[in-house]
Amino acid sequence: MLVTLLIEEGYTGYGLYWAILEVLRDSPKYRYNPDPRVWAYVLHAQDTAQVERILTQYGLFDQDNEGLLFSPWLIEQLETYDDTRRKRQEAGKRGAASRWGSVQDKDGNAMAKPSLADGNAMAYNNTNTTNSMKENESPSMAGGVDIRLLCQDQGAAISAELFQTIADTQPEGHAPGYIAQVCIQYGMGENVLNFLCERTNNGDVSHPLYKQFVALVRRIQAEKYPLKYPANFFLTKLFPS
């Protein structure tokens, strides 16, 4: 059918066909007005008769019970794509739920989740971190783990889907979503995110290491300190060798 259209209408007709599909793709329920005059106006096509032929003569389009035009092929493709995307999202949420949702609040009390926009900075703990903001550019050990292994995905993006899943599944009194937000902001990948969440009891806001992490972020923001190697910086400050 499409080959017949190409033979009889040429590449002008072929281009109009794909332009019609683009309009349908962005229309509610992938359907649109069947009037060729409307399509000619929308597509800025001068030959209304050609538009009408493309819509009616090649079996590429159909009309539903309400008389709206649709492409069976387009709907099949989009439904397959949407179904695949939905399954991937559900699988991602299940995986993240098992990863982030296993920790429960010890006392059952809800606690406020920290925000990067929160102006109330926690006190910087000088006993566990150095006063110098100089970055340690030489890989070393952090909490018994080689920093080089954790920083392999430096700059790799944490997907918005993973971030949203973490935020949706975090238990009360824990803020792994905040750790993920910081990792996204400074370009630290999933390896660092997993390591920080593991060592802070899944972002337990009462955990000493979590408090140090938040305080370190506040200090960086307050001093507008540019980070050349963010992952290495955070890990060496939180886990001094």
Domain annotation covers residue 145:
yes
Q: Are residues 150 and 234 located together in one domain of the fold?
A: yes
- Contacts of residue 6, defined as CB under 8 A and 6 or more positions apart, other chains included, come to 13, 14
- 108: tokens are 């059952």
Distances (CA, A) of 8 to 4, 20, 118, 214: 6, 18, 64, 67
Q: Are residues 224 and 147 located together in one domain of the fold?
A: yes
The helix/strand/coil state of 135 is coil
Residue labelled with tokens 């991937």: 88
Domain that holds residue 40: 2-73
Mean pLDDT computed over every residue of the chain: 75
- Are residues 30 and 70 in contact, defined by beta-carbon separation less than 8 angstroms? yes
pLDDT value for 137? 43
How much is the average pLDDT of 53-59?
94
Last residue of a domain, one of 53, 73, 93: 73
CA-based Rg of the chain, rounded to a whole angstrom? 27
Among candidate residues 189, 193, 192, the one with its CA nearest the CA of residue 178: 193
Domain annotation covers residue 194:
yes
Domain annotation covers residue 124:
no
Domain annotation covers residue 213:
yes
Q: Are residues 149 and 69 located together in one domain of the fold?
A: no
User: How many distinct structural domains can be found in the chain?
Assistant: 2
Q: What is the C-alpha separation between 221 and 159, in angstroms, rounded?
A: 23
Last residue of a domain, one of 41, 73, 105: 73
Confidence at 10, pLDDT banded by 50, 70, 90: very high
Confidence at 213, pLDDT banded by 50, 70, 90: very high
- Are residues 37 and 77 in contact, defined by beta-carbon separation less than 8 angstroms? no
Helices (H), the chain: 2-25, 36-43, 48-56, 72-100, 147-150, 160-169, 176-185, 190-199, 208-223, 230-238
Greatest mean pLDDT among 52-66, 144-158, 170-184 lies in 52-66
Domain annotation covers residue 136:
no
- Are residues 219 and 124 in contact, defined by beta-carbon separation less than 8 angstroms? yes
- Are residues 189 and 162 in contact, defined by beta-carbon separation less than 8 angstroms? no
| The pLDDT of residue 155 is above 60 | no
Last residue of a domain, one of 73, 99, 116: 73
pLDDT value for 87? 63
Domain annotation covers residue 174:
yes
- Beta-carbon-side half-sphere exposure of residue 174 (alpha carbons within 13 Å): 26
* Ramachandran category for residue 2: left, alpha or beta (phi over 0 → left; psi -120 to 50 → alpha): alpha
Domain annotation covers residue 81:
no
Q: Are residues 151 and 69 located together in one domain of the fold?
A: no
- 72: tokens are 């069976």
- Are residues 20 and 43 in contact, defined by beta-carbon separation less than 8 angstroms? yes
- DSSP state letters, 59-125: S--EE-TT--EE-HHHHHHHHHHHHHHHHHHHHHHHHHHHHHTT---SS----PPP-TT---PPPP-
Confidence at 156, pLDDT banded by 50, 70, 90: low
| The pLDDT of residue 233 is above 60 | yes
Domain annotation covers residue 82:
no
